[in-house]
Amino acid sequence: MSEHKAHTHTHVHDGRDPKNAFSGWFEGMTHVLPVRVYYEDTDTSGIVYHANYLRYFERGRSDFLRMAGVHHLVMLQGEDRLAWTIRRINVAYHKPARVDDLLHVRTNYMEMKGARLSGHQSVVRGHDVLATAEIEAAIITLDGRPRRIPADVVEKLAPYVGA
């Protein structure tokens, strides 16, 4: 296990640190990413189009990794040229979001094993859960072959993965 400790306080970035600007914060082992709903996110009924929740979830996963010190570009440019991919996602929609809503994407990873990282995500507005997703991500080479999560990535993620 890593000597790093998961953040136990809420930290909001003010945009002056370019590498983490607007990347959210950790509450314990949960990453929280604020997302504002724009008109472009909605369909003709004025609610967020269902596929856009997948985009919100992707942003949450990406910023979780960034805040934990795992950067997509570094992995792509490394010796093995690795990338994350979604192996499985199961989304449930509970309530609609609308223009100007302030949402929070909450990301938790529960298990890291072999090439896989499994977890749970939710999009919330205040106390209302709008959508949830069970996810399984995996590390692959650029030709699509699975690879074990590299040891340095395991070390960086370990403080944030668990029940």
101 is catalytic: no
**116 neighbors 134 (Cβ within 8 angstroms):** no
Q: What's the sign of the alpha-carbon dihedral 16, 17, 21, 27? A: negative
What is the rounded distance in angstroms from the CA atom of residue 117 to the CA atom of residue 134? 11
Identified catalytic residue from 43, 80, 128, 152: 43
What is the rounded distance in angstroms from the CA atom of residue 33 to the CA atom of residue 26? 9
The alpha carbon of residue 156 and the mean position of all alpha carbons in its chain are separated, in whole angstroms, by 15
- First and final CA of the chain: distance in angstroms? 15
Q: Which residues are catalytic?
A: 43
